[in-house]
Amino acid sequence: MSTAMSTTEKFQATAKAFEAFYELISVLRGPGGCPWDREQSIQGVVQNILEEYYECVDEIQADNPRGIAEEMGDMYLTLSTLALLLEEEKGLKLEDILGSTKAKLIRRHPHIFGEEKLEAQTAEEVLEIWNKQKAQDKEAGLSGKGHTTHELLSKSQKSAPPAEQSYDISKAMRKAGYSWEHIGGALDMVARECAEAKECLDAQGDLPAEALDAFVDEIGDIYFSLANVLTFIDTRPSLVQQRVNNKVMARFSLMREKMAADGLDWDADADKREIYWDRAKAELKRKSEAR
């Protein structure tokens, strides 16, 4: 006899677990609850949201299911706390938030829920329908977001890291038709900006204070051009940066471990560092390819 849960049973179990979880957070914030939880505010949870997001991304990129589950739990905790704060401070109830999101999903999937079924055979066609409905929602005043005076800026969240804003602005410019036709042109632009930064450096030598701003501007152009390249492969800068940061940290740690294991001193044997860096790089590459 099968013991597998039906879809309805799974929904009921999930709802019961979430109800108990939400109730626990209410207790922590209630009279006699935890002083730290009671001090939380809507603005105060911003940093927690960012930290939990990046920790979860770390575990996803490491392909660690148990780590992903733990960080997802922390994200649920932070977002549930925010939901409770919104109810307490702004009168926005969680059921209203979820109900509004559900209604939005239904509106933006007319090819599934509409009276006249629209044809959508590919993900690209679905995205086109979504964006069209999104624009209609905005015109009808169904979006709760504030509006900026500049179309490109409205595509980029003001609270997002600057690199993410560069990506969003570049993507909006591409959508408006002002961009390279192929990724090769965008890569050539990166090379051109790097050359201009090099020219600035060569012209100024050790970069006196009065020339520093010009050099920083050139570096900024490089960053923006790199964000533009990433729009061609739909990959966000923060994910790329996090990936390379993890790679460099792992390589650097392994390099130092290997030097110590061979009896070398980090300072006295500085001339050996590059050799051990290459060895660590090769070893980590072999491990990655063997997965």
- Please say if the pLDDT value at position 35 is more than 60: yes
Pairwise CA distance, residues 86 & 158, whole Å:
21
- Please say if the pLDDT value at position 57 is more than 90: no
- Fold classification of 14-92 (topology level): Helix Hairpins (1.10.287)
Evaluate if pTM is beyond 0.95.
no
Q: What are the domain boundaries of the chain?
A: 14-92, 161-235, 239-290
- Within 10 Å of residue 275's Cβ, how many Cβ atoms? 14
Express each pLDDT in 78-106 by its tens digit: 999 999 999 999 999 989 999 999 999 99
Contact call for residues 181 and 189 (beta carbons, < 8 A): no
Pairwise CA distance, residues 271 & 279, whole Å:
14
Express each pLDDT in 228-268 by its tens digit: 999 999 999 988 988 899 899 999 999 999 999 999 999 99
Instruction: Tell me how far CA of residue 98 lies from CA of 7, 83, 169, in angstroms.
Output: 20, 10, 29
pLDDT for 127: 83
